[in-house]
Amino acid sequence: MSDIAEDKKAAAKQAISFVLDDMVVGLGTGSTAFFAIKILGEKVAAGLQIKGVPTSLVTAHLAHECGIPLLAEFDKIDLTIDGADEVDPQGNLIKGGGGALTREKIVAAASEKEIVIVDFSKQVMRLGKFPLPVEVLPFGLKYVVSQLRKDFACEVRIRKSGDEAFRTDNGNYIVDCEFNQIVDPAELTVHLNNIPGVVDNGLFVGLTDLVIVGKGAGEAETILFDRKKSDARENPHHPL
Ligand code: 5RP
């Protein structure tokens, strides 16, 4: 296994230690979340009682293979473990490298606790080097692309999968936007989501409770954020 993969696994392993019996657990998408789902599957096989909420069809398939029971619908999730493409010092994220950003954001918003697991390469001082994914309804694609080019001085690319345009699990397109530096993620996310035809964008602002960073030699650093004061802190299921 590469060093980066080891770091992802170390972060995943630490995140799983927060999962307790009877929790509803949001299951992220991507190569880091992959390790968390595998470890969770082993815990379920050993008797852990949880129900999962997958953030993508790929994750649903993997969770099923690992024997994790899944919920078809949800209104509240105890804890979600997901990866990210970039994390800034405030815990704001860019997500959507795997195209699952809209479901990932719904699951993060429904979660009492959102744990983000990354290797150290995902930590940045300022978001924006990673092209920001924007999910777009097919009907609005041409209009949204023209608005993005007009409103922002950024390069805009429709994501491909081989020769075809990439489609999300929701049947939509992804437009990747090269901002390079995002000065105000909260303002940008509102601006983007106000363009008719935009379903959602990959900026996750104020949705992170804990970031766990794999740092080499099986070590992981945890960074705590105060996303929201809620009754979650009185809930015995929540050790955070
Ligand atoms: C998928 C995501 C992933 O969490 C993100 O792309 C990170 O993936 P990886 O862990 O493979 O680096 O947002 O939509």
pLDDT in tens, 37-79: 999 999 999 999 999 999 999 999 999 999 999 999 999 999 9
Same domain for 8 and 111? yes
Closest CA to 95 of 206, 203, 216, 227: 203
In a domain, 148, yes or no: yes
Same domain for 59 and 9? yes
CA of 234 to the centre of ligand 1 (A): 31
Same domain for 212 and 183? no
Confidence of residue 235 (pLDDT cuts 50, 70, 90): very low
Same domain for 117 and 166? no
CA of 120 to the centre of ligand 1 (A): 14
Same domain for 84 and 42? yes
Same domain for 217 and 195? no
Same domain for 178 and 109? no
Residue 228: predicted pLDDT: 61
Same domain for 116 and 25? yes
Same domain for 164 and 56? no
Q: What is the mean pLDDT of the chain?
A: 94
CATH of the domain at 106: 3.40.50.1360
Give backbone dihedrals phi and psi of 222, rounded to 5 degrees, phi first.
Answer: -110, 135
Instruction: Reply yes or no on whether the pLDDT at 236 is more than 80.
Output: no
In a domain, 230, yes or no: no
Query: How many CB atoms lie under 10 A from the CB of residue 61?
Result: 11
- Of the residues 42, 65, 86, 104, only one is catalytic, namely 104
User: What does the angle CA 22 – CA 29 – CA 60 come to, to the nearest 5 degrees?
Assistant: 60
Quick one: how far is CA 43 from the chain centroid?
22
Please answer whether residues 78 and 111 qualify as being in contact, where contact means their C-beta atoms are separated by less than 8 angstroms: yes
Look at ligand 1, atom 10, and give the residue with the nearest C-alpha.
32
CATH of the domain at 138: 3.30.70.260
Please answer whether residues 168 and 102 qualify as being in contact, where contact means their C-beta atoms are separated by less than 8 angstroms: yes
Structural domains of the chain, count: 2
Nearest atom (ligand 1) to Cα of 99: 14
CA of 109 to the centre of ligand 1 (A): 17
CA of 88 to the centre of ligand 1 (A): 15
Residue 70 DSSP code: B
Nearest atom (ligand 1) to Cα of 202: 13
d(CA 188, CA 172): 21
In a domain, 127, yes or no: no
Parent domain of 155: 132-200
Q: Which residue has the tokens 């606790």?
A: 113
Same domain for 140 and 43? no
In a domain, 75, yes or no: yes
Quick one: how far is CA 208 from the chain centroid?
10
Give backbone dihedrals phi and psi of 16, rounded to 5 degrees, phi first.
Answer: -65, -25
Beta strands in the chain (DSSP E): 24-27, 51-54, 77-82, 86-87, 93-94, 111-119, 132-136, 155-158, 160-161, 164-165, 173-178, 198-201, 203-204, 210-214, 220-224
d(CA 206, CA 225): 9
Same domain for 155 and 37? no
Residue 42 annotated in active site? no
Determine what percent of the chain is predicted with pLDDT higher than 90: 91
In a domain, 234, yes or no: no
Pocket of ligand 1, candidates 8, 62, 95: which has the most ligand atoms within 8 Å of its Cβ, to mutate? 95
- Sheet with 77-82, side-by-side order of all strands: 51-54, 24-27, 77-82, 111-119, 210-214, 220-224
